[in-house]
Amino acid sequence: MARGRSAAGTKAEDPEAERRPSLVDDAYAAMKRAIQDSSFAPGYQASEQEIALRLGMSRTPVHEAVIRLQEDGLVRVLPRRGVLICALAPEDMREIYDVIVAVEGRAAALLAALPDAARAAAAAELAAQTEAMDAAWRAGDLPAWGQADAGFHRALVERAGNGRMIRIIQTINDQSHRARMLTLRLRRELGASVAEHGALVEAIRRGDPAEAQACAHRHRLRARDELLPLLDSFGLKHL
């Protein structure tokens, strides 16, 4: 009994232990955001202490967050040289799009085959993200456009309700979002994405699985064919 009281007392007297999981989650989320929006650009290298200072955090949760980010493929830990933000080469992006085209096409078909109420709710959510994209595009707010675009594609897969498809997309979303944010200022067809999203929403709303899948395929293939030449033409070889 005494030992139990001692352990409980120690835990109560160590608020840092209670908060540590939250601090690590906070550090992980902050670093991930910085990588995704290119505050920590591809090729950026720094010590864990330097990263902690930039984030306004202590080194211990940053160290544990770095381990998780390395498992995600976003950073590499270089012995005695710090942390390197990983690059994403055009060939990586080509492979990522192969997966996205297949998964999102199937997700669109599944959404269009949902019962009326569920299909209408999914279409409404996708339409709201499309409207946010359009407003951001007209306002010249590229970060907001990128966030709404990411929200649209996330909802497209999540609303389909296939857990395995969701997990597959989650493994590549970080890389695809990084490429999206890094190339937004070079891309000239943001209005085309808004129109293509609108066509996809209408196919889902009508309950037309074949057309929904075709719309998703056309949209992602056009985006891929626009993005990859940009990486080559503008020298962005290692996103």
pLDDT, one tens digit per residue, over 113-144 is 999 999 999 999 999 999 999 999 999 898 89
Q: With a cut of 50, list the residues of the chain below it in pLDDT.
A: 1-18, 237-239
pLDDT of 86 reads 83
Distance in angstroms (rounded) separating the CA atoms of residues 223 and 217: 10
pLDDT tens figures, 106-118: 999 999 999 999 9
pLDDT at 229: 80
pLDDT tens track for 148-172: 998 999 999 999 999 999 999 987 8
Using the Cα atoms of residue 54, residue 180, residue 191 and residue 152 in order, give the sign of their dihedral.
Answer: negative
DSSP secondary structure of the chain: -HHHHHHHHHHHT-HHHHHHHHHHHHHHHHHHHHHHTTSS-TT-EE-HHHHHHHHT--HHHHHHHHHHHHHTTSEEEETTTEEEEPP--HHHHHHHHHHHHHHHHHHHHHHHTS-HHHHHHHHHHHHHHHHHHHHHHHHT-HHHHHHHHHHHHHHHHHTTT-HHHHHHHHHHHHHHHHHHHHHGGG-S-HHHHHHHHHHHHHHHHHT-HHHHHHHHHHHHHHHHHHHHHHHHHTT----
| Structural domains of the chain in order of their starting residue, each with its CATH number | 2-85 (1.10.10.10), 90-233 (1.20.120.530)
Query: What integer pLDDT is reported at residue 1 of this predicted model?
Result: 46
